[in-house]
Amino acid sequence: MNRESREALQKAILYILMAIVIVIVLFPIIWMGLTAFKNDRDILSIPPKILFTPTLENFGFVFERSNVVKGLTNSLITAIAVIAITIPVGLLAAYSLARYNVGGGHLAFYILTIKMFPPIAAIIPYFVIFRNLGLLDNLASLILLNSLFNLPFTTWLLMSFIKEIPTDLEEAAMIAGATRFEAFREVILPLLRPALAVTAIFAGIFTWNEFLFAYIITRTEAITITRVMAGFFTERGILWGPLSACALIATIPMFVLALATQKYIVRGLTLGAVK
């Protein structure tokens, strides 16, 4: 085989591999989409059906019989609140740690270890405490918990971004007449805008997708969209159709967000890796 055709073959293999990956990646998502539009009989049919008459009855069920609207609203509120808390707090902490190394690495390590906590281990004492204080099923409790668990990641990511900016810039500003805080506000902050966007997106996605805390801490008032799904596991059995429809409703916003901010997400991961 000569060189040209060998290279062509290699390229073809790469395309095939890539196609396989894409198919595997998309398959469950597409299946979720299909299932949401199937009626009960089609869902349970053996062998599974690819061609069927789509129906909106699952969505109807979801919207009539469950708290999905409230769930969506609460998820949105929680996500925004968590972003509003963790970004400023994390930014200040990140700047302080990145530029001054307060506590000589120990403090940073402690904040990072929170990231390592298995949430299930943390939630048990929280459950007892909230229960005793009557703070269950409370959006504020949920926001608090999510903020706590998102803060390490936010701080760490922002720290990486801040370290990318040379200290020369703040020093030049300070020599030119700025206080440290003015230098931070006028020179560093504008440069961090894309970084803040990335961090906000990640924090938002994590909070939106969060299930464990929502499941344990909320019931009906502070219900989030992920918790709504749990409601389809009834004593009579699992309501597959509405469950899929709800899953679709829960994930579509994130897919749209991911595709729209694709650039930012990849950048965020990139930078975290470069550290």
Partner 1 sequence: MSMSGRIKSTERKLALLMLTPAIILVFGLTLFPLFSAVYYGLTDLDLSNPLSGKFLGSFNYYRLLTTDSDFQQASMRSMLFTIGCIVIQLPLGIGIGLLLNQPLKGQKIYRAVVTLPLVAAPVAVGQIWRIMYHYEFGIIKYITELIFGWSPNWTADPNIALTSIIIYDTWQWTPFIALIILAGLQSLPTEPFESAKVYGASSLQIFRYITLPMLRPYIGLALIFRLIDTLRTWDPIWAITQGGPGQATETLSFYLYRVGLKQFFIGYACAASLIFLYAVIVLCAITLRRLRL
Partner 2 sequence: MPVLNNINLDIRDGEFFCLLGPSGAGKTTLLRIIAGVEIPTSGEIYFDDRLMNDVLPKDRNVSMMFQSYALFPHMTVFDNIAYPLRKRKMNEQEIKNAVEKIADTLHIKHLLSRLPKQLSGGERQRVALGRALVIKPDVLLLDEPLTNLDAKLRIEMRAEFKKLSKELRTTIIYATPDQAEALSVADRIAVMNLGVVHQVGIPDELYHEPMDTFVASFVGSPAMNMIECTLIEENGKAYLDAGEFKYWLTKSMAEVIMKQASSNDLILGVRPEDIVILMEPQEAAIMFEVFAYEAIKPDAVVDLKVGNRLIKVLVSRELMLNPGDKVWCKFNRIYIFDKKTGQIITSEVKSHG
Residues 148-167 that bind partner 2 (CB under 8 A): 166
Q: Does residue 166 interact with partner 1 by CB under 8 A?
A: no
Nearest to 97 by CA among 142, 171, 155: 155
Q: Which of 15, 105, 191, 221 binds partner 1 (CB under 8 A)?
A: 15
Radius of gyration, CA atoms only, the chain: 24
Q: Does residue 96 interact with partner 1 by CB under 8 A?
A: yes
Which of partner 2, partner 1, none lies near 133, with the C-beta cut-off 5 to 8 A by kind?
none
CA distance 174 to 178: 4
- Residue 246 structure tokens: 């709800």
Which of partner 1, partner 2, none lies near 140, with the C-beta cut-off 5 to 8 A by kind?
none
Q: Does residue 40 interact with partner 2 by CB under 8 A?
A: no
Which of partner 2, partner 1, none lies near 178, with the C-beta cut-off 5 to 8 A by kind?
partner 2
Q: Which of 172, 252, 266, 269 binds partner 2 (CB under 8 A)?
A: 172
For residue 225, give the amino acid letter.
I
**55 SS3 class:** coil
Question: What's the min distance (Å) between Cβ of 61 and partner 1?
Answer: 15
Q: Looking at residues 181 to 200 of the shown chain, list those that interact with partner 1 (rule: CB under 8 A).
A: 181
Sign of the alpha-carbon dihedral angle for 99, 100, 104, 106: negative
Q: Which of 7, 8, 9, 22 binds partner 1 (CB under 8 A)?
A: 22
Question: What's the min distance (Å) between Cβ of 193 and partner 1?
Answer: 19
Q: Looking at residues 233 to 262 of the shown chain, list those that interact with partner 1 (rule: CB under 8 A).
A: 238, 240, 243-244, 246-247, 250-251, 254-255, 257-259, 262
Q: Does residue 1 interact with partner 1 by CB under 8 A?
A: no
DSSP secondary structure string, 132-167? HHT-TT-HHHHHHHHHHHHHHHHHHHHHHHHHHS-H
**Residue 235 burial (C-beta neighbours within 10 Å; 0-12, 13-18, 19+):** exposed
DSSP secondary structure string, 161-205? HHHHS-HHHHHHHHHTT--HHHHIIIIIHHHTHHHHHHHHHHHHH
**Residue 131 burial (C-beta neighbours within 10 Å; 0-12, 13-18, 19+):** exposed
Q: Which of 25, 56, 169, 172 binds partner 1 (CB under 8 A)?
A: 25
Q: Which of 157, 173, 229, 239 binds partner 2 (CB under 8 A)?
A: 173
- Residue 25 structure tokens: 């990646």
Q: Does residue 63 interact with partner 1 by CB under 8 A?
A: no
Q: Which of 36, 143, 151, 187 binds partner 2 (CB under 8 A)?
A: 187
Q: Does residue 84 interact with partner 1 by CB under 8 A?
A: no
Q: Which residues bind partner 2 (CB under 8 A)?
A: 166, 168-169, 171-179, 182, 187, 190-191
